Amino acid sequence: MNSKQTIEMIEKLKQTYPDAKCSLNFTTPFEMLVAVILSAQCTDERVNKTTPAIFAQYTKPEDFANMELTVLESLIHPCGFYKNKAKNIKATAQILVEKYHSQVPNTMEELMKLPGVGRKTANVIMLEVFSNPQGVAVDTHCKRIANRIGISKQKEPEKIEQDILKIFPKKYYYDLNHVFIWHGRNICTARNPKCEKCPICMYCQEYQKK
């Protein structure tokens, strides 16, 4: 795929999903950080059903830093892997209080040093909280689309991201983070993808094989 085709493809996706945006609900940077940690191996829908009751009572890093781990585990239980996520959220909250004056840091490097925050989570925070995308958050939808289209043959998210960043100009990072997820949810689904409705099938290697 040449540079002209990559731009055509992203423009077609932008036209198809003009309202594409982050699905997680949040009102503060810290709420977003917690929500993204909870979203690992869990649907955004489930996270959005779980967090309102939590954030109604606990809003600041101090609240989570001082919370009993068993209480936090109980609160986030519906999101799965609750023991590990609770440990990471509490440890991250403690670091924010002690090192960052309870503020979420605004660089990839600092974010990725927080417990439970990998490159994907850091990418989401940089995009949604600070409007400064540094890359593309490769979730299951993005991975599937990149592999099917032929953008990347890699299986590891970080390697897929590097392949994506090589061919798309930085000005499209914001859109890429959203339209790939929406396209994966609506058309390029894991099972029975709706190829006949796909606006970018002409660029897709897997579709061409069919």
Q: Could you report the per-residue pLDDT of 39-65, keeping only the tens digit for each?
A: 999 999 999 999 999 999 999 999 999
- Residue 156: partners with Cβ closer than 8 Å, 6 or more residues away: none
The mean pLDDT of 170-196, rounded to a whole number, is: 95
Band of residue 210 on the pLDDT scale cut at 50, 70, 90: confident
| Tokens of residue 191, six digits | 């099972």
How many Cα neighbours within 13 Å face the side chain of 165?
Answer: 13
Catalytic entry in 120, 143, 209, 210:
120
| Tokens of residue 133, six digits | 């995308």
Percent of the chain with pLDDT over 70: 100
Q: How far is CA 87 from the centre of its chain?
A: 20
> Could you confirm whether 197 is annotated as catalytic?
no
pTM for this one?
0.90
Residue carrying structure tokens 């409705």? 197
- State the chain's mean pLDDT as an integer: 95
> Could you confirm whether 83 is annotated as catalytic?
no
The CATH 1.10.1670.10 domain(s) of the chain lie at 3-20+136-209
Q: Could you report the per-residue pLDDT of 139-171, keeping only the tens digit for each?
A: 999 999 999 999 999 999 999 999 999 999 999
Catalytic entry in 139, 143, 163, 194:
139
Residue 1 has pLDDT above 90, yes or no: no
The CATH 1.10.340.30 domain(s) of the chain lie at 29-128
Q: How far is CA 138 from the centre of its chain?
A: 7
Quickly list H helices, 66-189. 69-76, 82-99, 108-111, 119-128, 140-149, 157-167, 173-186
Looking at domain 3-20+136-209, its CATH class is mainly alpha
Of 1.10.10.10, 1.10.3720.10, 1.10.340.30, 3.40.30.10, the CATH number of 29-128 is: 1.10.340.30
Band of residue 3 on the pLDDT scale cut at 50, 70, 90: confident
